[in-house]
């Protein structure tokens, strides 16, 4: 039987990530990291998006902190094939239906398997705490600074510094060890 994430759980997880990201943004009119303007800040005659208004996301996924690579480049297809026992057919980054801006979804040949990787590079510690509070789950010892398997989504969440890594592998009889091994490969980009 396929492992299935609960639609409500994924919706709530996305909401929690969005809240955590919003909470980590500088206040309107203030200076953000490296002199960038805060949410809603701008100059006269410059249009800025109002808080809470959706804007188009650029194609492709953004780079992960600590590396110049987008999420799709943080796992090699050969590694995915070896660890999952499947064969990757395609991958797509920057999908709007994934809660993380830096994301990648891999599909597999000949079956309905799906691998999803999401990276939250800023505010990851806050998002991790919110996810654990909402989902509950089983701690995973010896992986990153902290890690757990979510009870609601069945995703593996790992925190490396302030970077949140969320991996979900949906396949028949999938073992949590597959997600753990994939997370270990991703963590090599973050010094883990």
Residue 27 lies in a domain: no
User: What CATH number should be reported for the domain holding residue 146?
Assistant: 3.40.1000
Q: Which of 190, 155, 176 is nearest to 5 (CA)?
A: 155
Can you give the pLDDT at residue 89? Answer: 97
Please write the tens of the pLDDT for every residue from 50-95: 233 232 333 334 454 444 579 999 999 999 999 999 999 999 998 8
Please write the tens of the pLDDT for every residue from 99-156: 888 999 999 999 999 999 999 988 999 999 999 999 999 999 999 999 999 999 999 9
Residue 121 lies in a domain: yes
H-only helix segments in 38-98: 77-84
Is the pLDDT assigned to residue 192 strictly greater than 70? no
- Contact criterion met (CB below 8 Å) for 77 and 182: no
Angle at which helix 77-84 crosses helix 176-187, to 10 degrees, equals 160
Residue 105 lies in a domain: yes
Q: Which of 109, 81, 97 is nearest to 10 (CA)?
A: 97
Residue 53 lies in a domain: no
Residue 32 lies in a domain: no
Range of the domain at 111: 7-22+60-190
Residue 49 lies in a domain: no
The domain tally of the chain equals 1
Please write the tens of the pLDDT for every residue from 10-41: 433 443 444 444 444 444 443 333 333 333 33
């Amino acid at each position: 039987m396929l492992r299935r994430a609960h639609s409500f759980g994924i919706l709530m997880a996305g909401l929690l990530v969005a809240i955590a990201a919003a909470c980590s943004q500088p206040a309107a009119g203030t200076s953000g990291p490296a002199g960038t303007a805060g949410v809603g800040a701008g100059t006269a005659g410059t249009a800025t998006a109002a808080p809470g208004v959706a804007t188009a996301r650029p194609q492709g996924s953004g780079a992960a902190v600590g590396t110049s690579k987008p999420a799709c480049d943080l796992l090699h297809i050969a590694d995915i094939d070896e660890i999952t026992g499947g064969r990757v057919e395609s991958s797509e980054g920057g999908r709007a239906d994934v809660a993380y801006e830096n994301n990648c979804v891999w599909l597999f040949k000949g079956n309905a398997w799906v691998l999803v990787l999401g990276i939250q590079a800023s505010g990851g510690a806050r998002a991790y705490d919110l996810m654990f509070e909402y989902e509950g789950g089983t701690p995973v010892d010896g992986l990153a600074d902290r890690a757990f398997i979510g009870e609601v989504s069945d995703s593996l969440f790992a925190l490396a510094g302030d970077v949140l890594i969320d991996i979900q592998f949906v396949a028949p009889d999938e073992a949590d060890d597959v997600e753990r091994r994939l997370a270990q490969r991703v963590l090599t980009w973050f010094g883990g």
